[in-house]
Structure 1
């Protein structure tokens, strides 16, 4: 590995150095060989993946550390937070010349653990491992993982569960909440910290007349792109707190997430979210709220020769681009999923009519687009109670597509509509088998989700293609992990 030591060059008040505390009886879970190759892992590193992913081996080139940050959780100021069970164990350069963080999750108590035990359990580890892999394969910016390990050590949650560790990778672990912590507790560090964020992650902004404003705009744009990607594949993050969003717009901190099955925009996938703050339909507005909160932390960076009120107005103006940026990408993406020409004045309205049918008929989000792509209109209409509503949509849909280059439109549909998503019951089955030391289902899902846009009859099972029947209890997922 080629190491790139960045974060430890910051002021030591921003982190705490410590070594991971391995779990007893660590054993192999699953290894992402392709990602290890991308990270330029040596043959020895690959052989040692279990000891690396279980905290038994660290690197002399990088002293592990826990980051401190703060945040707003469910809209309320939560004060100091931080890496309560994770350690940044390395920063390395991948084969594309990009700096990547290696973050070991479940590595033991840190000064920022608060009431936690510093551990992760197998259940949540498998869910994060598969979700990061799935989103990356869907082309949505997200953390990934080199591998995870299980253990013989028990970890107490609602019940005693098996402890596990995950070696997560991300282009950035600097969260919006880092800026909140600095402003609240160490404001003198803000300017240098922000400068480093720009140098490391947005160096192109250094050439702008006002680099901090350019930085703000870039973070806002990337966050809008990420959330539009979520909406298009039906992904609900579940815990969009300011400490769970990073500055590069890559999905981070998979907890009680869910890929939507039956199209219910107000679906509460996180059963700790008692008021439905982070439902699928609220994600764009919650992203906007988080960015507004973050921008307030940039107010102290007003240049000395600049009017402070004008500076506030300029920061507010940066946020004004969030909605048009989000909508532009969402509208384009939705038209592509529908096989409709982006330039046609009626395409987006027609697409929204399709979504209203999915909602009123409670149809499966992913498979409905696949059926539309396959022109399997009979199967769609047979699932509808209100057949006339679908027939009206279909007439308008076909009218818009008439005289268009449908071959190109259909090709694009195949490129953007996944055949497979990670349904909660799929992940749950893999978890239950893994708890019995059988990781074959993790392996199957990992392979299936590696190429989600291609039909894989040799790997798929009927339960991969549909929601659970209405008489089967929904898989319950909460913040407990």
Structure 2
């Protein structure tokens, strides 16, 4: 691997150097060969031979420089003060096969000075969920952290019950969060200039070509965040805990906790059982992204040349970037040109899904069975299932909409429309029930289901023989989609 351990060269107030605390008898859970190849991990015999011991905290390669980051944040809209890596360590920074920086971050690595009331550990169920979700989003072409692999151990961890301790080697283009600037502003304001230079030089070097590099950097963060959240909305993903300490400066999905993929379409869906007010409901994610950036940006007024007017200009592109990316993506999902008539049909379609609590993923994919039925027997079956769930009144709405929709599809070459629909509407997403079946088996020492789901999600846009009916089954219309606990 090509190591580039630069964070350890920053001011020592920003982190605490320490090795991981070893797990007891770590054992292989799953290894992501694709990520390993991307990192150059597979080229190193020592890393390949000892990957379980490395993830289990028993062995630290000489080129690793493990440290816990300090950061702060707003949680559920309230200032939470100092936070930091309470159970994870930045183990190493490398350049991947594309020359892009990647962080190797070990989650479940034991106590750090930032653990507060925590135990520094992670449990198997949350580790599997994060492992599979990072993989799923990456294969859906949504900017996200991924993972090299995970291990399980004999270490016992208490949550609602006693569970097996586990560890995950998370891989992300950056682990710097909006909360890093919040921590610096509160506890080490003299470091803001140096740290901003580091963020620009490491992650946004193209901004150095601007007449105003800091403003260009801030605008780029705003735009990347807007595009990431638009991608979430298009695929039906809800992060569940969009605190400022959980949003990356690179616009990559980070820190999976009570996440979920939409099943029965309900924009007001709350997937975090601790979110009693619905702050992080699916439909609120775009507004929360704007709120978080609006909290983050003012800290940079400490820097020369950055005024309130400058910050207003940096934040201004958020809404237009989000709307353009979302609307273009929504039209592609329907195989329609990006124009006002298409958008009207698209929003009517979403209303039909919401009014009838139809399955989000299956319903979008089913439209291929309407547009090109002879070539899409699987989608025809989805379409039949969808329409049989409609009341007589809703069926009339559907018939009226489908006639106008088919007329609109004809404005694009049919091959382009079908290709857009195939490549923007997955067959498979990580449904909570899928993840739970994999977790249940893994807790019995059987990781075959984790591997099957991993392989299924590696090609989410293609129908696969390894799939079962349960992989695409929506919960009954009158059964609420289960919320997920933050406990992990």
- With structure 1 as the length reference, what TM-score do the two structures score? 0.96
Alpha-carbon offset, residue 293 of structure 1: 0.5
Cα displacement string for residues 44-71 of structure 1 (whole angstroms, at most 9, x for unaligned residues): 3122111111111212223210000000
Determine the structure 2 residue equivalent to 1:407: 415
Supply the distance in 1 between the matched residues of 2:389 and 2:286 (Cα, whole angstroms): 30
Equivalent position of 2:344 in the other structure? 349
Alignment partner of 1:111 is 2:113: yes
Find the counterpart in structure 2 of residue 18 from structure 1.
18
Pairwise mapping of residues 260-275 of structure 1 onto structure 2 (< 5 A)?
260-275=262-277
Deviation >6 Å, runs of 4+: none
Deviations 1:310-337 (A, max 9, x none): x111111211100000010100000000
| Paired residues for 1:249-288 under 5 Å | 249-288=251-290
* SS of 2:340 mapped into structure 1: coil
Residues 346, 60 of structure 1: alpha-carbon distance in 2 compared, 3 angstrom cutoff: same
Deviates more, 1:51-60 or 1:268-277: 51-60
Q: 2:360 maps to what in 1? A: 365
Match of 1:54 in 2: 56
- Residue 374 of structure 2: aligned partner: none
Does residue 433 (structure 1) correspond to residue 468 (structure 2)? The answer is: no
* Alignment match, 1:478: 485
Q: CA offsets, 1:164-200, max 9 Å, x none?
A: 0000000000000000000001000001100110000
SS in 2 for 1:89: strand
Q: Which residue of 1 aligns with 2:225?
A: 223
Return the offset for 1:391.
Answer: 1.4
Q: Secondary structure of 2:202's match?
A: helix
1:4 matched residue in structure 2:
4
Q: Do structure 1's residue 326 and structure 2's residue 328 form an aligned pair?
A: no
Residue matched to 2:472:
465
Give the CA deviation at 1:405. 1.0
Cα distance, 1:98 vs. partner? 1.1
In 2, are the aligned partners of 1:68 and 1:83 still within 8 Å (CA)? yes
* Distance of 1:439 and 1:254 partners within structure 2: 21
Matches within 5 A, 1:20-169: 20-41=20-41, 42-169=44-171
Give the C-alpha shift of residue 470 in structure 1: 5.1
Q: Alpha-carbon deviation of 1:378? A: 4.6
* Deviations, residues 199-231 of structure 1 (Å, cap 9, x unaligned): 000011111111111001100010011101101
Contact 2:270 2:280 in 1 (8 A): yes
The answer to whether 1:454 aligns with 2:450 is no
- Let me know the Cα RMSD of the aligned residues: 1.3
Q: Within 2, Cα distance between the matches of 1:427 and 1:403? A: 40
Counterpart contact for 1:59–1:90, Cα < 8 Å? no
| Count of aligned residue pairs for this structure pair | 473
Q: In 1, Cα distance between the equivalents of 2:356 and 2:364?
A: 14
TM-score (norm 2): 0.95
What SS is found at the alignment partner of 1:298?
A: helix
1:262 Cα deviation after fit? 0.4
Over 3 Å counting, the alpha-carbon distance change for 1:87 and 1:261 in structure 2 is same
Matches within 5 A, 1:238-257: 238-257=240-259
Post-superposition offset of 1:468: 2.5
